[in-house]
Amino acid sequence: MKESLVNLKKTARTLYLLEHTQATISWDQETYMPEAGNEERSEQLALLEGIIHQKLTSPETGRLLAALGADDEKPEGKGDFPDEDKALIREMFRSYRRASRLPESLVTEMARQTGLAHTAWVNARKKADFSLFEENLSRIIELNREKAEKIGYKEHPYDALLDGYEPWMTASQVETVFGPLGEKLSDLVARIKAAGQPDVSFIEKNYPIDLQDSFGRSVIKEIGFPSDRGRLDLAAHPFTTTLGVNDVRITTRYHENLVLSGLFSNIHECGHALYELGVGKNIQGNILASGVSLGIHESQSRFWENMIGRSMPFWERYYPEFQKLFSKQTEGVSLDSFYKAVNQVVPSFIRVEADEVTYGLHIILRFELEKALLSGELEVSSLPGEWNRRTKELLGIVPKDDAEGVLQDVHWSAGLIGYFPTYSLGNLYAAQFMNSMKSDIPDFDSAIRDGRFDKILDWLRGNIHQYGMIYPADELCRRVTGENLNPEYFIDYLESKYDGVYGLRGN
């Protein structure tokens, strides 16, 4: 068994290096690659995907896992190993089981199609014309249907895809959470609407992009983003990617008249990066050195973006600097007025720019559409119209064009069907983690106000980051908070915060 484990670790290390090689050229594709290079880049990505698939699903990998006793009943194997070794066996078995059910031809075709689809999506978005992306998306949906059938599922094809991002969770479980969550969010939105809106005219003015970039970089540096282990660049859609133990890249985008969009993108992606950079030394350099699920990963970015970045203590610290940089735009604007504008709740079209309350409704929209596309209930050609109809139903607004609506997210061009629910799960985990954090850090607010972010980051590293993928999401949640995922913490957080912003109890 020991020899088999040593050899399995070597295989895992090879996969780790190949995946980071793949991530490197994908990062370049989305940042600096000239557009004309896309066709060959797609072939490069497909080649790497095929090599990774071959290595993962080889008979030798299966033999090693069998020798370690890994099976569906006991995926961590039967050896008496430390937790991190059991976790490595479990994750390798899980990956092997999923991948071995997928023919290499399907894997490489998906990589090739998504490479082509990304450029098509960028072009379609620029021209606000879904028809320029429709054929690409149709092919991606077909490939995802085939993928779901090959992997297998008990209830809905969506389960097989969701499981790739949020292990062991099913669509019906998501629906159980999203049903009451959607109702409570809609009720809160209605009460906020009745309370009236704060003045936000000053944050809709033009803010020089160079100053936005300077301010955003200074904020993430103070939060803890290390410039010697990562970098910040521009992309059409903000993302984070890990290229190595000491190389995590984040991207952002800026708009002159959306000053908060770029800032919160910076902070959001910084949260993801801090998670990746905080894994324990005992698992650095192998497949466990990443987030255990995308819901947990998203909890880190949403925590820093919203529960820190949109808090009053945060702006008590940073508003004087912000006001100094943008004196003309914020002239005569008090801290309280600025804080209320930062936390304005109003239905909007762009998910990444949505407020904390309506954000979950954006996710519910995408979850419902993905399920319908995958099952065949909704044709890709009908997607723009159905997007607009459901947007009006959930948010009470209708996009003016496809760029503002169905084309706004990059995820579908990357083949990521089943991904979106993890964003809302991240909000739920974040609120529950923060509740426990505040018990351990009584001076939580003053630590933010004083810029002592290391105190908060140390807690996250000690309770979440260092474990990487060692503990499954549900077990990690219980270890940190003492209970299973409980959506009430998020609802309580929103109710308390937005009562302070809008005075809801007084209405």
100 and 223 part of one domain: no
Number of domains in the chain: 2
200 and 121 part of one domain: no
- Give the CATH number for residue 196: 1.10.1370.30
Active site residue 269: yes
301 and 413 part of one domain: yes
Predicted confidence (pLDDT) per residue in 414-453, tens digit: 999 999 999 999 999 999 999 999 999 999 999 999 999 9
**Mean pLDDT of the region 459-476:** 97
Which of 93, 128, 163 is the last residue in one of the domains? 128
In a domain, 237, yes or no: yes
Report in angstroms the alpha-carbon separations of 392 from 365, 373, 420. 10, 19, 19
Q: Which two tokens stand for residue 433?
A: 């983690």
Q: Cα(262)–Cα(213) distance, rounded to whole angstroms?
A: 8
Q: Cα(448)–Cα(456) distance, rounded to whole angstroms?
A: 8
DSSP class per residue in 158-182 = HHHHHTTTSTT--HHHHHHHHHHHH
Estimate the crossing angle of helix 488-502 against helix 421-440, to 10 degrees: 80
3-state SS assignment for residue 419:
coil
214 and 102 part of one domain: no
Prediction pTM value: 0.90
The DSSP call for residue 9 is H
In a domain, 155, yes or no: no
Predicted confidence (pLDDT) per residue in 153-210, tens digit: 999 999 999 999 999 899 999 999 999 999 999 999 999 999 989 999 999 999 999 9
In a domain, 150, yes or no: no
111 and 175 part of one domain: no
| pLDDT for 333 beyond 90 | yes
In a domain, 165, yes or no: no
122 and 181 part of one domain: no
Which of 104, 128, 152 is the last residue in one of the domains? 128
| pLDDT for 270 beyond 60 | yes
86 and 196 part of one domain: no
Q: What is the mean pLDDT of the chain?
A: 95
296, 268 Cβ separation under 8 angstroms: no
The predicted pLDDT at position 506 comes to 54
Which of 128, 159, 181 is the last residue in one of the domains? 128
In a domain, 147, yes or no: no
310: left (phi over 0), alpha (psi -120 to 50) or beta: alpha
Predicted confidence (pLDDT) per residue in 28-83, tens digit: 999 999 989 989 998 999 899 999 999 999 999 999 999 999 999 999 999 899 99
Q: Which two tokens stand for residue 318?
A: 């940073």
| pLDDT for 505 beyond 80 | no
In a domain, 224, yes or no: yes
329 and 214 part of one domain: yes
Q: Which of 76, 91, 109, 269 is catalytic?
A: 269
In a domain, 439, yes or no: yes
Q: How many CA atoms lie within 13 A of 91 on its CB side?
A: 28
In a domain, 275, yes or no: yes
* Domain interval for residue 311: 171-506
